[in-house]
Every structure is written in structure tokens, then in C-alpha cells.
Amino acid sequence: MQYLYALEQEAQIFLTSWPRGQEVSSIYVGGGTPTVLVSEELEQVLAVASAFPRASTIEWTVEANPGTLTLDKLRVLKAAGVNRLSLGVQSFDDTILTFLGRTHTGAEAKTAWYNARQVGFDNLSLDLIYAVPGQSLTSWRQTLKEALALAPEHISTYSLMIEEGTEFGRRGLTPVSQELDLAQYEEAQAVLQKAGLCQYEISNFACPGFSCRHNLVYWYNEPYLGLGPSATSYLAGERRTNVRNVSEYVQCLNQGRLPVADRESATPELARAETVILSLRLREGLSRRRFRERFGQDIGDVYSEAIHRLTEYNLVTMDEDSLRLTDKGLPLANQVAMAFLPNNPS
């Protein structure tokens, strides 16, 4: 398969100049449904990831579609060293799954889960979607109940976005009311935290010790390498995004060129702003010590006006250790973020 060969070529370009002694602490194979590949192709993808030096305590996650996750593929993943699965269940309500265009049923999702446990995976995450048109608060509550019955180590909950250019947008669908969206979000917070899953990030809940390391790299705004079409990397202060088109991706690598479509070097102002905005997604917030070590200034000095204004509205709180979103500010994180952007007029 030309794409898989191109993926190997892209990895080799980085491996030829890989810093001696540098180990990878997190691998995440996602961007869709890797388990749609047949077992032999899946092994090729995993071999690409295996080529990078790995830390002994590595977290290696693979996204999986319950409708394509067979016992044979689970054994392939386990044999390769994958130790965490993220299952795109979305819902256990078959009516909702049909609306979303998913190819699996709620029963098939549970079968995939039980098979993963049987093969030996002890770190499993569920992706769930709420704010779906036609989804009541009762239906969402039932999905949360069925998810918790599986005793997952991690759950991610996402509000369905209906935007122009998407399939739902072309169908003329409208989002649910803000009131219902917020009610379902708050229901997830209450139900999951009562069950012992701590909300460590706006959309993510985990049992103690099972926060997703891959997610934390993003929220701490640390460097990462992305491979494949549309993949994004953040290396040496530069954000790169690969071409989206698979044929163009293959062509670039066949010509010995990195398939980069866009590059953006962060100015000091933008790097500071991104670090604040991303860290605020975490319930622990932004560490003032980490900010000082990275930028040589205290966040209270750099953003005093914005922090004062947001504090007055009870959207953020700051003590000697950190800057954090309040419970009121958590669902308004995108609006709060605007206050930290460079040249923000407000």
C-alpha cells in the first residue's frame, strides 16, 4: 500500500537525525479509525511507531472503532506493545449511533470492550458524544450509566459541533440549545466524578493515575511529532501541518520531501498565549512556576489586566501556585482564551 510505505519514509526522515538518547514517552495512533486496516496493514503502522526509541514507561494509545476491532487485531495491538485503547463508542443508544452515521451498535461496542479486556488491556478509554439533535438528557444519562458499568479507566466527552461544510451542516441541521448542551455537560461532570473519575481537563475524566499522557503533552504545550496526512507537529517552537490529500502526501515523500503544507513559528507573545490558553483547559490550571521557568516572567505580571478582569467575572482564580478556570469559567474556556491572545482589543 503506497500510503503505508510513504508513512515509513516520513518516519525515516526524522529517525536519521533523531537526538541520541532521546526517548519517546507517548505514542498515539489515531486521526480516525486505524483499526479499519486489515491486520497486516495495522502491523505495518505499528512497526513505524516501534522504530522510535521508547521509554520503558511509555503510554502507547491506539484509537479503535468498535465495528472494526476484531480479536485478531486486538492481539496484533497487544503483541506490538500497545497498552492503551481509545474506543470511539460515542453512544450506547442505537438511534443516536444511526444518526451519527456510526457503523456499530451499542451491543457491538460492548463486545469490543469485553474482547479488549479478554486480550489483556487494562487501560481503556471511551469517547462519548453529547448535544446530539434528538438526544434527551435522559438518553445521555443512560449512556453515561452504561459506560460506567464497563468500569473504564478513562472517558472523554465531546459536544457535537455542527459547522458549515460538514455533513451535518450540509443537511441543514441546527445545534441543540445552549441550555441543553450545558445541562448534558454538567450531567457528565456530576455522574462521572461521583463514580470516581476525576475531571482533569475540560472534556476528559480519568481514574487516579490514568490521565492520558498524550493529552497532557498538548495541554502543557510541549513538543510533539505528528506523522501522516493532516498531522500536526510542534517542534523547536515551530508548528507544522502536513498536506491533507493522501495522494499529495505520497507524492511528496516519493520525491524525498517532507509533506508540509503550513509552517508557523511562534513569536514569544504567541508562545506565552498558547501556553496559558492550553493549560487553562486543565483543572489544575497553569503552574506559575512552570510559566516563569519557561518565559522568565510571572503570569501575573504579563497578563495582570486580563486576569483582573476575568477574576471580577468569576471566570478564573489565581493563587501563589496557579491560574485556573472556575467552575463557571470551565464551559466558557473558549471565550476566556480570547483575553490572552496577542493584540486582543478587549
The residue type found at 56 is S
CB 113 within 8 Å of CB 151: no
The confidence score (pLDDT) of residue 242 equals 98
The confidence score (pLDDT) of residue 346 equals 46
The residue type found at 44 is Q
Tell me, yes or no, if the pTM score tops 0.85: yes
Q: How far is CA 104 from CA 98, 248, 343, in A?
A: 9, 31, 47
CB 15 within 8 Å of CB 48: no
Does residue 223 sit in helix, strand or coil?
coil
Beta bridge mates, 62: 29, 85
Task: Report the sign of the C-alpha dihedral through residues 47, 211, 192, 129, in that order.
Answer: negative
Per-residue pLDDT of the chain (346 residues; tens, 9 = 90+): 799 999 999 999 999 999 999 999 999 999 778 999 999 999 999 999 999 999 999 999 999 999 999 999 999 999 999 999 999 999 999 999 999 999 999 999 999 999 999 999 999 999 999 999 999 999 999 999 999 999 999 999 999 988 777 778 787 788 899 999 999 999 999 999 999 999 999 999 999 999 999 999 999 999 999 999 999 999 998 999 999 999 999 999 999 999 999 999 989 999 999 999 999 999 999 999 999 999 999 999 999 999 999 999 999 999 999 999 999 999 999 999 999 998 764 4
What CATH number does the domain located at 268-340 have? 1.10.10.920
CB 85 within 8 Å of CB 116: yes
What CATH number does the domain located at 2-211 have? 3.80.30.20
Q: How far is CA 128 from CA 89, 93, 100, 125, 147, in A?
A: 6, 11, 12, 10, 9
- Give the three cell numbers for residue 331: 464551559
| CA pair distance 249, 97, nearest whole angstrom | 32
Beta bridge mates, 224: 234
Residue 342: which of 272, 238, 265 has the closest Cα?
Answer: 272
Strand positions, DSSP E, the chain: 24-29, 54-64, 84-90, 124-130, 154-159, 198-201, 204-206, 232-235, 238-242, 260-265, 286-287, 316-318, 322-325
Q: CA dihedral defined by 217, 34, 98, 204, rounded to 10 degrees? A: -20
The confidence score (pLDDT) of residue 344 equals 61
On the CB side of 249, CA atoms within 13 Å amount to: 20
Beta bridge mates, 235: 238
Beta bridge mates, 60: 27
CATH 3.80.30.20 domain extents, the chain? 2-211
